[in-house]
């Protein structure tokens, strides 16, 4: 049983996580939203779960390190500077950052790494995602995670090979590029497809999140797993032993 602190209490995920804690094996140590005392929350939590906004990351990391408690970061829309800050904090406490806490996406990333690595020559990788109308970042954190998996399978760096937001006279696709396309609308919890397009054939590897309870469950599994772990940066693959 873990005493869990939630950052981003009033959001869709904050609410879903609180609901998943209720009646389960863990307890809610407390929860904060924008402008509230995250350091105080860290002091009374065994582990923190952050589903808020990139602008909150620095103070959340600071609070976790100050209190010496592990932190699971589900917030997406992170940039390079955020990842550097996470690496620094992970020297002091255990930090798990992931664009998707679900078991299915963690397995999908593995399949993508293998397929993109095995089919490197003549197979183009395109990643398509769709989310609800309120989502503010694109490509989704999951799309980027899947892009990283494809890049890792091919032994290339993702930033140097990404084609994002194509519009207008773009010219032909670059060889070896990993393309991203984002759709927004309705109440879609999260859909991702990784397309490997070859000569006269395509492989499509997809994941559909039917609602956000699966992200909440995965976050609780990851957070409980983090308690007692050595400082360092962890992933859902570590949690699930994949
Ligand atoms: N990794 C995963 O598996 C998943 C990740 N996500 C990601 O999680 C994040 C949250 O998603 P969602 O719940 O849908 O978004 P919401 O916008 O519904 O919720 C975010 C909440 O965090 C609050 N917030 C903003 N800044 C701070 C702050 N400094 N401190 C504390 N709280 C703050 C917001 O307040 P206000 O509205 O006032 O700004 C809001 O209440 C997104 O980045 C999303 O992409 C979502 C689902 C799964
Ligand atoms: O904002 C969301 O809702 C989601 N965000 C995550 C992402 O950016 O990939 C995970 C999930 O797809 C839902």
Neighbouring CB atoms inside 10 A of 206's CB total 12
Q: What is the ipTM of this complex?
A: 0.99
Q: Which two tokens stand for residue 230?
A: 């050595």
* Topology at the third CATH level for domain 3-101+212-240: Rossmann fold (3.40.50)
Cβ contact 115:103 at 8 Å: no
Question: Tens of pLDDT along 130-187?
Answer: 999 999 999 999 999 999 999 999 999 999 999 998 999 999 999 999 999 999 999 9
Q: What are phi and psi of 96, to 5 degrees?
A: -115, 120
Cβ contact 92:70 at 8 Å: no
Name the E strands within 8-146.
Answer: 27-32, 47-50, 71-73, 94-97, 124-131
CA atoms within 13 A on the CB side of 34: 6
Percent of the chain with pLDDT over 70: 100
Q: Is 43 annotated as a binding residue?
A: yes
pTM above 0.95, yes or no: yes
Question: Tens of pLDDT along 99-129?
Answer: 999 999 999 999 999 999 999 899 999 999 9
Of all ligands present, the nearest one to the C-alpha of 146 is 2
| Continuous segment of H or E residues that includes residue 77 | none
Catalogue the active-site residues: 131, 135
16: confidence class by pLDDT, cuts 50, 70, 90: very high
Of all ligands present, the nearest one to the C-alpha of 73 is 1
CATH code of the domain made up of 103-208: 3.30.360.10
- Report the separation in Å between the CA atom of 122 and the middle of ligand 2, taken as the mean of its atom positions: 30
| Continuous segment of H or E residues that includes residue 114 | helix 103-118
Q: Is 8 annotated as a binding residue?
A: yes
Q: Is 76 annotated as a binding residue?
A: yes
First-to-last alpha carbon distance for the chain, in angstroms, is 24
Average pLDDT value over all residues in the chain: 97
Q: What atom in ligand 2 is closest to the CA of residue 77?
A: 8
Cβ contact 221:98 at 8 Å: no
Q: What atom in ligand 2 is closest to the CA of residue 140?
A: 8
- Report, as an integer, the average pLDDT of 209-234: 97
Boundaries of every domain in the chain: 3-101+212-240, 103-208
State how far Cα 220 lies from the chain centre: 14
Pocket test for ligand 2, best of 100, 147, 186 (most atoms within 8 A of CB): 100
Gap between the Cα atoms of 70 and 86, Å rounded: 12
Q: What are phi and psi of 140, to 5 degrees?
A: -60, 160
Answer whether 99 contacts ligand 1 (Cβ < 6 A).
yes
Is the per-residue pLDDT at 11 higher than 90? yes
């Amino acid at each position: 049983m873990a005493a869990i602190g939630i950052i981003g209490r009033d959001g869709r995920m904050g609410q879903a996580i609180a609901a998943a804690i209720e009646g389960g094996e863990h307890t809610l140590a407390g929860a904060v939203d924008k402008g509230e005392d995250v350091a105080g929350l860290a002091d009374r939590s065994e582990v923190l779960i952050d589903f808020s906004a990139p602008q909150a990351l620095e103070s959340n990391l600071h609070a976790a390190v100050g209190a010496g408690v592990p932190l699971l970061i589900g917030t997406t829309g992170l940039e390079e500077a955020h990842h550097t800050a996470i690496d620094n904090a992970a020297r002091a406490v255990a930090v798990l950052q992931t664009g998707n806490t679900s078991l299915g996406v963690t397995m999908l990333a593995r399949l993508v790494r293998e397929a993109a690595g095995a089919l490197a020559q003549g197979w183009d990788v395109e990643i398509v995602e769709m989310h609800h109308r309120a989502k503010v970042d694109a490509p989704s954190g999951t799309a980027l995670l899947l892009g990283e998996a494809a890049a890792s399978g091919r032994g290339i760096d993702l930033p140097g090979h990404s084609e994002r937001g194509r519009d207008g006279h773009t010219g032909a696709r670059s060889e070896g590029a990993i393309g991203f396309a984002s759709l927004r609308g309705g109440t879609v919890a999260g859909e991702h497809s990784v397309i490997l397009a070859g000569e006269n054939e395509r492989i499509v590897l997809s994941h559909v999140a039917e609602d956000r309870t699966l992200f909440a469950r995965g976050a609780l599994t990851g957070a409980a797993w983090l308690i007692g772990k050595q400082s360092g940066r962890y992933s859902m693959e570590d949690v699930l032993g994949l």
